[in-house]
Amino acid sequence: MKEISTRQGRRTGLTKRLRESLTAQVRRLLNESAESRYKISKATGIDQASLSRFVRGERSLSADNLGTLAQHLGITFSTARPARSEPRR
């Protein structure tokens, strides 16, 4: 599994930086995948034409669809903040 970590301050939604990073990784993995876009489309429920446009960079995907694709490709991400080693002053 690949992991993307962020120190996101908000509780909902993706930060712009996280979304860009996740989008780039998903596109790269889709291009490297031996699985056809048709099979990925059927497995994820994302329209094949939308998936192809996303890979070509012609459109973006909703956060839900991006998460579905990431999960299908084995990408995980965490929005939890790392524990502090020293108390804050």
Query: Using CA atoms, how far apart are residues 23 and 27, in angstroms rounded to an integer?
Result: 6
Query: Using CA atoms, how far apart are residues 87 and 35, in angstroms rounded to an integer?
Result: 48
Beta-ladder partners of 2:
75
Classify domain 2-78 at the CATH class level.
mainly alpha
Backbone angles phi, psi at 48, to 5 degrees: -60, -40
pLDDT tens for residues 18-28?
A: 788 888 888 99
Amino acid at 47: D
Q: CB atoms < 10 A from the CB of 70, how many? A: 19
For residue 40, pLDDT over 90 is answered with: yes
Prediction pTM value: 0.65
CA distances from 69 to 57, 82, 87 (A): 15, 26, 38
Backbone angles phi, psi at 3, to 5 degrees: -130, 135
Confidence (pLDDT) at 20? 85
pLDDT tens for residues 50-71?
A: 999 999 999 999 888 988 998 9
